[in-house]
Structure 1
Amino acid sequence: MNSQYVAYLRVSTHKQGLSGLGLEAQREIIRNHLHDTNPIAEFVEVESGRKSERPKLKEALTLCRKEDATLIVAKLDRLARSVSFLSGLLESDVEIVFCDFPQANKMVLHIISAISQYEAELIAARTKASLQAKKSRGFRLGNPEHLLNKHRQAIQNSINTCKAKADSNPNNKRAVAMLRTLVKENHSYKEMAEILNNEGFVSSKGCAFTKSTVYKLIKRYGLL
């Protein structure tokens, strides 16, 4: 067996780096298998095990051929879940070692990969059945109208929150009390704004009053 190794690590998503099949876990498995000997290179792929587009794997195989090295993988399913894809790799001119099954010959690896593919198909089938069950119970999967209703509700909740803050603002409360009197005296919006400013009143944001802010307060609290 070749004394040089090229490590190939794969995760399906970036989040998987935190799981038991994360990158650090795979590195530890390879390190233990090689008795703390470091591979000459390491290639990391972020890709689903069912997809055959593996640019990093191709780079790793190219380096193995160049350096007459062995490709080392922590676990069989980190390389592939597809029987056809794995079969092609096993027939290549690069020697491959799986740390979780170093004694396996090509026939055994074909059988294991077939089981791995079957498990992946079962997971997909269970997921599909679960979604169909939800749909049959009236749950709308990815329905645009359902999402739009949620968006509208979120907007309304935001409006209600802003209104509640405005209603409880002490500056607004003082100004509204003064406006009740000014409205009865038939002042214009401009005149009411000038009176509020001259008397030291400020808006909820601490600003001077304008015709517009006076109008909004009068309309909000139904003073007319």
Structure 2
Amino acid sequence: MIKQYVIYRRVSTRKQGESGLGLEAQDRDIDLYLQNYESSEFEVLNTFVDVESGSLTDRPQLIKAMNLARQSGATLLVSKLDRLSRRVSFIASLLEDPKIRLKVACMPHADKFQLHIYAALAEQERDFISARTKAALAQAKARGTKLGGLRDSTGERNKIICQQAQERADRLEHIVMPLVQQKKTTRQIADALNAAGVQTARGGQWQSGQVSRLIGRLRKK
């Protein structure tokens, strides 16, 4: 019996959608899953792509993908859980839908319970990061930094973002710099980070340009 799949991909910005950034990484994950973890003969009924925020649940292409999966009995396949949604409530409702079977390429052996737990933990982490940023802004205001105007507030926020980026870079120094010393390319380093399960700040996969910026931060120390 041929196993059927409906593939869904999502990027957050029009620029990413037009350039292929993000979509290429999702395609790679999905291909890896189908070639290495699907032992049966299979066919892809259709592929749907949204250029929308993950917080939205009424994305038009997602609705089409879910409807096709329900009608055909095919498995809905995504590269990562956050490509489907960043809302744990939405993911939970989808997992409870008896007419939808879901597979996440980068978590090939995860069952419904594990996917639910992963979604809940990811949402908690995003909430914590948001709270941490707000706390840092409040501390800056308490120190006398003027945050009343848009420019001042944005400037202080950018400082915090830069500081957090440097902290993440420092944590990866012991992995990245030995590879740099071995004359590895930024593409090879990105592949090594992805293979090791190290995610970017946004929870995605590494690209060559991101590695270049990471190395630049480490070299400026």
Q: Matches of 1:47 and 1:98 in 2, distance apart?
A: 19
Q: CA separation in 2, counterparts of 1:62 and 1:100?
A: 23
The answer to whether 1:70 aligns with 2:106 is no
**Cα offset, 1:104, TM superposition:** 1.4
Q: TM-score, normalised by structure 2?
A: 0.56
The equivalent of 1:167 in structure 2 is none
**Residue matched to 1:115:** 121
Kept in 1: contact 2:33–2:106 (CA 8 A): no
Paired position in structure 2 for 1:97: 103
Deviations 1:72-105 (A, max 9, x none): 0001222123221111000111111111112211
CA distance in 1, matches of 2:133, 2:18: 23
Q: Distance in 2 between matches of 1:19 and 1:119?
A: 29
1:1-224 pair list within 5 angstroms: 3-15=3-15, 22-35=22-35, 39-92=44-97, 93-141=99-147, 143=149
Deviations 1:124-164 (A, max 9, x none): 112222332333344444626979xxxxxxxxxxxxxxxxx
Q: Deviations over 1:40-96 (max 9, x none)?
A: 222112333333332221110111123331110001222123221111000111111
Q: CA deviation at 1:29?
A: 1.0
Residues 145 and 109 of structure 1: CA distance in aligned 2, closer, same or farther (over 3 Å)? closer
Matched to 1:78, the amino acid is R
The answer to whether the 8 A contact 2:3-2:43 is kept is: no
Q: Which amino acid aligns with 1:107?
A: F
CA RMSD of the aligned region, Å?
3.2
Q: TM-score normalised to the size of structure 1?
A: 0.55
Q: Percent identity?
A: 48
Q: Where does the alignment leave 5 or more consecutive residues of structure 2 unmatched?
A: 37-41, 154-221
Count of matched residue pairs: 147
Task: Summarize deviations over 1:158-179 as a string: whole Å, max 9, x none.
Answer: xxxxxxxxxxxxxxxxxxxxxx
Which secondary structure state, in structure 2, belongs to the residue aligned with residue 122 of structure 1? helix
Amino acid at match of 2:24: E
SS class of match (2:121): helix
Greater relative contact order structure (CA < 8 Å, 6+ sep) = 2
CA separation in 2, counterparts of 1:99 and 1:127? 31
Mark the CA change 1:136 to 1:84 in structure 2 (over 3 Å): closer, same or farther. Answer: same
Unaligned regions of 5+ residues in structure 1, if any?
148-224
SS in 1 for 2:107: coil
Distance 2:122 2:150 in 1: 36
